[in-house]
Every structure is written in structure tokens, then in C-alpha cells.
Amino acid sequence: MKTLILCTALALGLIACGKEAPPKVAQERAALTQIVGGAAGEYGHVYSGEVRARYETTLGFRLGGKITQRMVDAGAVVKAGQVLARLDGADAGLQASAADAQYQLAEAELKRYRVLLSKNFVSQSAFDAKEAALKSLSAQYGLARNQSTYTTLVADHDGVVTATLAEVGQVVAAGQPVLRLAQNGSREIAITIPESQYADFKTGMKAEVALWPEGNETVRSGAYLRELSPAADAASRTYAARIAVDDARLPLGMTAQVRFVGMQGDKSALLVPMSAIFQQGDKSALWVVAPDRSVSLRPVQVASYRDEGAVISSGISVGERIVTHGVHKLIVGEKIRVVEAGAAR
């Protein structure tokens, strides 16, 4: 009886082991997607820049020495004539005193020679030599006196200190930059132009400016291209440009975007987020979402890169859905759970 029960239990165990475990249901990966729906040419080329002063001055002492005081820091608002820094003036003071003493001696000697000349005890040429020596020493004394005032650095215009380039205790040479002063008044946007677009620009071109804190919806008109450098930067191969704006109250250093009026890009090119580009070596591709939510990798041609995204010249059409984030985690043919990230511009 016991043998029969044991055999029955063993048979039931073997039957149970022979059953396959229920398959696990694969969980679909969530992915941010968006509809391609805007031509890059509708917006033209947009350039990022920084608000700068029309006139910026780098201030330094007119003679060398050790800095003993610096009264301002970066961001300080200063007035014309305000003292900004001082050098150790001991040596300059001694030179001025020595020049003054020599001048006083020459002046007294000239007075004696004038009396002697009136009595014909000295010649006219000897008197002329003393008079010339007095004029020379007078000039040397004036130079030494001026140099003693050069130990004080003063603001030449009203403005804002944008940078401090030397510290108290530092020994500086004559003309070495100590402070950078942005003068009050006109403001400009400093941008760079790629060399491939340089031929399209001319000074005087009208532009529109959007400040980053105000949002891209707030556009300021009335700006124009005031200056375009004739030489490219050796490192970046771009050309520096200045956009004049009519608002002198813009905060320095604020980020701005500039678009030139009348310049339109290729109407057939499409704008997609930079994060949507799947890069394999020198090849670019996009993950395209099919109606059944499966994804496929499609090669595309990237015409250019902008701050607002990549410009696609071929390989994708308006109305197609693409994956915008996590493109390096997907597999061809994989089905995803679509998460809307907003339509493309």
C-alpha cells in the first residue's frame, strides 16, 4: 500500500514538472514623441548672442607699481572722475620732490645770472644756457608731477565695472589691464556669423531681437547690423558681429536671440529637436513611429544645426511621428508606449 502511494505521488510530480511556465508579458517602453510639422525656413537663421555695451574700456595705470587699493568690484556703478584704484605712490612722490628741488636751484641760479649780466660780469651766452637749463628742469618737474598723479586710476566715463583684472598687492606694469568698464548709453548684441553665411550679410540689415528672460514671443524690432568683422576668428572660423538696439536700459550680459528680417531658409527643410538625432559614425537617423507603434530607424540628411534644433533636408516628411528622447535605447521593430511631447515648431 505504501509503495502504491509513493508511486502515485511521484507520477503526479513528474506531470507537474512537465507543464511549461506561463510566458511573461513584455512591458512596452514609454518614449517621448512628437509630430514633425514645421519648416525650418519659416523661421530663418536664429543667432544667439549677449547684450554688450556699445563702448567698453579696459582701464590701466599709466605707470607700473604695486596696487595698494581697489575701491570697486565687478558690477559696481561708477561716475566719471570716481577713484577706482591706487598704486603705491612713494617712488613717484620722491621723483617729483627731486625734480622740484632741481627746478628751485636752477631758478635761483638764473636770478643770480640775471644780476651778473646786468653788470656785464657774465656773457649773454652763459645767461642763455642757464635760462635753457631752467626750462628743461621745469619740463622734467612737470612730468614728474604728472606721473605722481598717475598712481590714481579714475573712471573716464559713467558706467558699470564688468570685470576686475588685478588684485590688491599685485605688481602691474604700465598699461596692464586692471578693470573693464562698460559705458552707459547704447547697447548691442554680440553674435558670431558662420563663414558659410558670411556673404549673405551686409551692415545696416534690419534684425529682430528676442531676450531670453522675456521669452521668444516678445520680439523687439528696430535693431540692425552695425558692425561685421572682416576677418574670421582663427579658432572658431566665425565672424564677430554687433547688432545695435535702441534700448539703453538692457542689462549687460543678458542672453538674446537675433533673427534678420527678410532672410529665409530652405522651405523644404524641417526642424527637429537635437535630442531626436541618432548618430552612427558620420551617419544621422531618426526613429520613426509607425501606426502600430513600432519604431524603425530611418537615415536622414542634416543640413545644419541651430540653437533650436537640427535642420533636416531629406529623409522625413511633415506629419510623421518621431521619437525625441532616449533614442539610443530603442530596438528596430520594438513597440513603444507613445508619450506626446508636443508638436514640432
- Convert the pLDDT of each residue in 274-287 to its tens digit: 888 888 878 889 98
pLDDT computed for residue 78 by the predictor: 93
Torsion of CA 261, 262, 267, 270, to 10 degrees: -20
- List pLDDT tens digits, range 61-81: 998 899 999 999 998 999 999
Whether pLDDT at 52 is above 80: yes
Compute and round to an integer the Cα radius of gyration of the chain.
Answer: 39
The better pLDDT of the pair 216, 147 is held by: 147
C-alpha to C-alpha distances, 153 to 162, 297, 344, nearest whole angstrom: 16, 64, 55
- Whether 141 contacts 99, CB under 8 Å: yes
Query: For residues 107 and 3, what is the distance between their CA atoms, to the nearest angstrom?
Result: 142
Q: Which of 274, 276, 275 is nearest to 286 (CA)?
A: 276
Least confident of 47-56, 71-80, 134-143, 169-178: 134-143
Q: Are 273 and 344 spatial neighbours (Cβ–Cβ below 8 Å)?
A: yes
Cα(194)–Cα(190) distance, rounded to whole angstroms?
14
* Residue (of 296, 218, 288, 230) closest to 257 by Cα position: 218
Average pLDDT, integer, range 146-169: 90
pLDDT band at 345 (very low <50, low <70, confident <90, very high): very low
The pairing of strands 336-340 and 29-35 is parallel
| pLDDT > 70 fraction of the chain, expressed in percent and rounded | 83
211 neighbors 254 (Cβ within 8 angstroms): yes
Range in 97-106, 161-170, 186-195, 297-306 the model is least confident about: 297-306
Pairing mode, if any, of strands 336-340 and 321-323?
unpaired
DSSP-assigned beta bridge partners for residue 270: 39, 312
DSSP 18: H
What single string gives the DSSP state of each residue in 27-95? PPEEEEEEE---BGGGT--EEEEEEEES-EEEE--SS-EEEEEE---TT-EE-TT-EEEEE--HHHHHH
pLDDT the model gives residue 20:
53
pLDDT above 80 for 193 = yes
Which CATH superfamily is 90-150 part of? Helix hairpin bin (1.10.287.470)
CATH of region 56-80+156-184: 2.40.50.100
Greater confidence (17 vs 88) lies with: 88
Cell of 229: 568683422
User: Mind listing the pLDDT tens digit for each residue in 54-65?
Assistant: 999 999 999 889
Is the pLDDT reported for residue 5 higher than 50?
yes
Instruction: Quote the pLDDT of residue 344.
Output: 43
Contacts of 277 (CB under 8 A, 6+ apart): 284, 285, 286, 302, 310, 327
Mean pLDDT of the chain: 82
235 SS3 class: coil
Residue ranges per structural domain of the chain: 29-42+267-340, 46-54+186-260, 56-80+156-184, 90-150
* Location of C-alpha cell 535693431: 223
| Closest to 208 in 3D by CA, of 223, 193, 198 | 223
pLDDT for residue 171 = 93
- CA distances (Å), origin 167, targets 57, 156, 170: 18, 20, 6
Cα–Cα nearest to 210, from 175, 156, 176, 250: 250
Tell me what pLDDT residue 153 has: 93
Among 11-20, 86-95, 293-302, the range scoring the smallest mean pLDDT is 11-20
CATH number for the region 46-54+186-260 comes to 2.40.30.170
Sequence-distant contacts of 296-305: CB under 8 A, at least 24 apart: 296/332, 296/333, 297/332, 302/277, 303/40, 303/266, 303/269, 305/274
- The residue-averaged pLDDT of 198-204 equals 88
Alpha helices in the chain (DSSP H): 2-18, 90-118, 124-149
The residue among 340, 265, 263 whose CA lies nearest residue 306 is: 265
In which band, very low, low, confident or very high, does the pLDDT at 18 lie, cut at 50, 70 and 90?
low
pLDDT of residue 73: 93
Strand partners, 77: 160
Q: Is the sign of the CA dihedral 67, 69, 71, 72 positive or negative?
A: positive
Is domain 29-42+267-340 in CATH 2.40.420.20, yes or no?
Answer: yes
Is the pTM of the predicted complex or chain greater than 0.75? no
